[in-house]
């Protein structure tokens, strides 16, 4: 049986007043009627959770943009719901539900001419719902989170779970009241998105299925919480609870900041290494420690920030290496070795109590200054430069002690200043070789003993082509098996000669263009003159002048240009070829020594276009601007 009753709408009157002016024309006697705004029915709430014993309930409604001719119609198809008119609200009575087999649902339909129908769901649970079919386990309790595992009795079962502080949880008078609040929570979010409750629950995976373990974050230390869970389904657009509510309680750890007395010492502090020792008499907690360089430490606004960064780095180490907090923290005393320090540099040791990525004590800081190396070897060096050209030189080093292992490096003399002295330069060089190249000082081809002839482009540290007409400094010094300098630094000066401008011409012949290759022959007019060739994608050149392209080539390669002599056959191969390339060549002997020759190659058609010649004076101008 369908029960109906009607609510006459309130009449809405609008009065408009307008003045007249002789300067204005009369209004249109037949104005276009305004477009009517559709009525909208609003109700609150949209779902009722009714206990088994039934009872009387009501909800308010409103109609926006009402019509003076329409009436509200309210109906329900279920005979266990009786409707009544309470004047401005819809009242309804629900009969007791004696069955133990499950919930029953009804819909109260509100209709109004011109408006979309609105339904209010009525969900009545039996006298006693079955027990919650989801087991919950508190795996781990921390300060700001807890790790929780949910195990449903089968993977097809759908359930909902919330975490709430215990004080709020205990304030609910019944499970039905708690569930009604959950529904209101979801409904509020659905309304904000302009979707139905069913659409929201489906789209945002509100109903969980299967077992899971999650870290529930955002908690407050020293607080009691309740995890509650219940089985639920969507039924006729309504969210229906199908089980009793199961609970598990936990308490987050109380955060107490300890005042610890840390002793921070450096054992075996050398010019490139140290062992950091941190100890405390308080063994009731574990602590972490690390060492920051001065440049890193200067980025922190305070000691707390330094400790937080230490914890962040430890978290990364734990995640990447499958470690635990016990693996990276200490009790009572801890030691850590650092073998990549820079002589003369400042470092800052940081230590504090840490529990589960949370700082639990004061933060202790100590500054250390790494000493310059102690000279333990009286070996001296002599050097003789030979075969000095604009781009390369040989140098023969003779040590006074044939057993001394030594390193040689050539650098532009202009790199050394009152701040970047040879001692500072060498300290940074030794650090970089360990940090970036992982050099094993006990067995490395970089170190030599006895008389040895070096070439600046092959076997010194950081070999490169030299620049013409430039002063260079050779540094030679002994190094032990720990990468520590053992001798005074020997310094030797040498200047490269000026480049001789050659009447060099370079012929470029594209012999064939394949799907993924350009085959070319480069023929210089003189066989004993250095030159460079390469092929770049056209987009590197397109939109640029030949001069700016030349600048780009030199900026990319500079003194590391690969040099050739005589006729060269070369195949430029590509896994993923670009549509077009620029094949080019120019003379180089510490500076540009010829014009720039270029050809454009289309990979699709095989077409080759001569792009002309850029005079060497123009190219040299851009090269000089870099020096």
pLDDT tens digit sequence for 12-27: 333 333 444 444 445 5
pTM of the entire structure? 0.65
Tokens of 400: 């006074």
Residue-by-residue DSSP string for 21-59:
-TTSPPPPSSPPPPPPPPPEEEEE-SEEEE-TT-EEEEE
Of 617 and 342, the structure prediction assigns the larger pLDDT to 342
pLDDT tens readout for residues 413-436: 999 999 999 999 999 999 999 988
pLDDT at residue 71, as a whole number: 84
Which of 310-327 are b and which e, b meaning 16 or more Cβ less than 10 Å from the residue's Cβ?
Answer: bbeebeeeeeeeeeebee
Which CATH number describes the domain made up of 263-369?
A: 2.60.40.10
Give the per-residue pLDDT at 546.
61
**What pLDDT is stored for residue 463 in this prediction?**
82
Give the C-alpha separation, 68 to 149, whole Å: 58
Reported as a pLDDT band with limits 50, 70 and 90, residue 10 is very low
Per-position DSSP letters for 493-538, written without gaps between them:
EEEPPPPPP--B-EEEEEEEE-SSEEEEEEEES-TTS-EEEEEEEH
* Fold classification of 506-625 (topology level): Immunoglobulin-like (2.60.40)
For CA atoms 68, 69, 70, 71, give the dihedral sign.
positive
Q: Do domains 3-13+41-124 and 134-251 have the same CATH topology?
A: yes
More confident residue, 2 or 585: 585
Contact partners, residue 304, CB within 8 Å, separation at least 6: 359, 363
Check whether 370 has a pLDDT greater than 70.
yes
> Would you give the DSSP letter of residue 387?
S
Q: Using the Cα atoms of residue 482, residue 483, residue 484 and residue 485 in order, give the sign of their dihedral.
A: positive
Q: In whole angstroms, what separates CA 332 from the centre of its chain?
A: 35
What confidence score (pLDDT) does residue 312 get?
A: 97
CB atoms within 10 A of CB 170: 11
Angle, CA 85 vertex, CA 103 and CA 95 arms, to 5°: 25
Sequence-distant (6+) residues with CB within 8 A of 34 are: none
3-class DSSP state for residue 296? helix
Q: Please name the residue that has the structure tokens 């499970």.
A: 175
Neighbours of 233 (CB within 10 A): 15
Q: Which of 21-25, 53-57, 427-431, 553-557 shows the lowest per-residue confidence on average (mean pLDDT)?
A: 21-25
Checking if the pLDDT of 624 tops 60, the result is: no
Residues 100-116: what's their mean pLDDT?
Answer: 85
Per-residue pLDDT, averaged over 394-409, amounts to 97
For the structural domain made of 381-495, what CATH number should be given?
Answer: 2.60.40.10
Give per-residue pLDDT as tens, 298-320.
Answer: 999 999 999 999 999 999 999 99
Pairing of strands 71-76, 104-112: antiparallel
CATH fold group of domain 3-13+41-124: Immunoglobulin-like (2.60.40)
Classify 310 as helix, strand or coil.
helix
Residues 557, 561, 565: CA angle, nearest 5 degrees: 155
SS3 425: helix
Helix (H, G, I), strand (E, B) or coil at 305: helix
Spatial separation of the C-alpha atoms in residues 125 and 164, rounded to whole Å: 24
Flag whether pLDDT at 158 surpasses 90.
yes
Could you give the C-alpha distances from 511 to 464, 579, 610, in angstroms and in order?
A: 32, 18, 14
Distance CA 523, CA 24 (A): 90
Mean pLDDT of the chain: 88
Tens digits of per-residue pLDDT, 211-221? 999 999 999 99
Long-range Cβ pairs for the range 305-313 (8 Å, 24+)? 306/348, 306/350, 306/363, 306/365, 307/350, 307/352, 307/359, 307/363, 308/359, 310/350, 310/352, 311/354, 311/357, 311/359
Give the CA distances from residue 394 to residues 31, 132, 139, 408, in Å, rounded to whole numbers and listed in that order.
99, 84, 68, 12
**Per-residue pLDDT, 29:** 60
pLDDT of 397 reads 97
Label residue 87 by pLDDT band (50, 70, 90).
low
Please name which of 227, 224, 286 lies closest in space to residue 260, comparing C-alpha atoms.
286
Burial class from Cβ neighbours inside 10 Å (0-12, 13-18, 19+) for residue 366 reads middle
Dihedral of alpha carbons 396, 399, 404, 409, sign: negative
CA-closest candidate to residue 447, choices 494, 482, 415: 482
87: Cβ–Cβ under 8 A, 6 or more apart, which residues? none
Question: Rounded CA gap, 523 and 80, in Å?
Answer: 101
Contact between 108 and 83 under an 8 Å Cβ cutoff? The reply is yes
Could you tell me the CA-to-CA distances from 279 to 226, 313, 333, 352 in Å, in that order? Answer: 40, 21, 4, 11
Q: What's the average model confidence in pLDDT over 241-268?
A: 95
Domain map (residue ranges) of the chain? 3-13+41-124, 134-251, 263-369, 381-495, 506-625
Query: Using one digit for the tens of pLDDT, what is the confidence trace for 587-608?
Result: 888 777 888 898 999 999 999 9
Q: How confident is the model at residue 551 (pLDDT cuts 50, 70, 90)?
A: low
Instruction: Please state the φ and ψ torsions of residue 319, each to the nearest 5 degrees.
Output: -65, -45
CA distance 504 to 502: 5
Domain 134-251 has CATH 2.60.40.10: yes
Would the pLDDT of 550 be above 50?
Answer: yes
- Residue 590 makes CB contacts below 8 A (sequence gap 6+) with 389, 390, 391, 465, 466, 467, 468, 469, 470, 496, 499
- Rounded percentage of the chain residues whose pLDDT exceeds 90: 65
Number of Cβ within 10 Å of residue 367's Cβ equals: 11
């Amino acid at each position: 049986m369908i029960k109906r009753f009607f609510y006459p709408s309130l009449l809405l009157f609008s009065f408009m007043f307008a003045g007249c002016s002789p300067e204005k024309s009369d209004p249109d006697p037949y104005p276009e009627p305004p477009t009517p705004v559709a009525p909208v029915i609003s109700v609150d709430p949209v779902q009722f959770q009714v206990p088994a014993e039934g009872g009387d309930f009501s909800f308010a409604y409103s109609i926006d943009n009402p019509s003076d001719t329409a009436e509200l119609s309210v109906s329900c198809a279920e005979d266990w719901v009786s409707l009544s008119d309470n004047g401005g609200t819809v009242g309804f009575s629900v009969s007791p539900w004696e069955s133990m087999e499950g919930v029953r649902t009804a819909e109260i339909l509100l209709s109004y001419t011109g408006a979309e129908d609105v339904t209010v769901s009525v969900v009545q649970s039996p006298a006693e719902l079955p027990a919650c079919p989801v087991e919950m386990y508190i795996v781990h309790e921390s300060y700001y989170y807890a790790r929780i595992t949910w195990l449903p009795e089968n993977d097809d079962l759908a359930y909902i779970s919330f975490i709430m502080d215990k004080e709020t949880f205990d304030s609910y008078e019944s499970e039905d009241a708690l569930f009604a609040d959950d529904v209101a929570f979801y409904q509020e979010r659905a309304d904000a998105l302009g979707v139905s409750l069913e659409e929201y629950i489906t789209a945002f995976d509100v109903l969980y299925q299967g077992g899971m373990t999650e870290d529930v974050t955002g908690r407050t230390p020293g607080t009691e919480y309740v995890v509650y869970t219940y089985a639920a389904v969507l039924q006729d657009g309504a969210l229906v609870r199908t089980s009793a509510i199961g609970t598990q309680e936990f308490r987050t750890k109380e955060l107490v900041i300890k005042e610890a007395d840390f002793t921070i010492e450096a054992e075996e502090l050398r010019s490139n290494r140290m062992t950091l020792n941190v100890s405390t008499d308080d063994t009731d907690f574990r602590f972490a420690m690390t060492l920051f360089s001065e440049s890193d430490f200067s980025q922190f606004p305070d000691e707390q920030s330094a400790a937080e960064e230490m914890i962040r780095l430890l978290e990364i180490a734990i995640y990447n290496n499958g470690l635990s907090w016990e693996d990276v923290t200490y009790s009572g005393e801890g030691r850590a070795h650092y073998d990549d320090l820079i002589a003369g540099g400042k470092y800052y040791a940081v230590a504090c109590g840490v529990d589960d990525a949370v700082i639990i004590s004061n933060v202790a800081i100590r500054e250390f200054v790494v000493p310059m190396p102690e000279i333990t070897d009286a070996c001296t060096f002599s050097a003789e430069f030979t075969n000095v050209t604009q781009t390369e030189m040989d140098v023969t080093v003779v040590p006074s002690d044939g057993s001394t292992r030594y390193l040689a490096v050539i650098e532009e003399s202009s790199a050394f200043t009152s701040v970047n002295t040879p001692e500072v330069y060498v300290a940074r060089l030794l650090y970089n070789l360990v940090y970036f190249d992982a050099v094993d000082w006990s067995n490395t081809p970089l170190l030599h003993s006895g008389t040895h002839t070096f070439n600046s482009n092959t076997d010194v540290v950081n070999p490169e082509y030299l620049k013409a007409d430039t002063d260079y400094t050779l540094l030679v010094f002994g190094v032990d098996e720990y990468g520590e300098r053992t001798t005074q630094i020997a310094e030797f000066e040498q200047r490269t000669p000026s480049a001789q401008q050659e009447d060099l011409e370079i012929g470029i012949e594209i012999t064939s263009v394949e799907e993924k290759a350009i085959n070319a022959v480069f023929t210089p007019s003189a066989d004993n003159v250095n030159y460079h060739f390469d092929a770049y994608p056209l987009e590197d050149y397109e939109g640029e002048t030949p001069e700016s392209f030349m600048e780009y080539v030199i900026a990319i390669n500079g003194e590391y240009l690969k040099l050739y002599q005589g006729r060269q056959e070369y195949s430029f191969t590509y896994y993923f070829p670009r549509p077009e390339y620029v094949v080019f060549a120019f003379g180089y002997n510490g500076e540009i020594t010829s014009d720039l020759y270029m050809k454009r190659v289309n990979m699709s058609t095989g077409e080759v276009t001569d792009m002309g010649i850029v005079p060497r004076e123009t190219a040299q101008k851009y090269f000089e601007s870099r020096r």
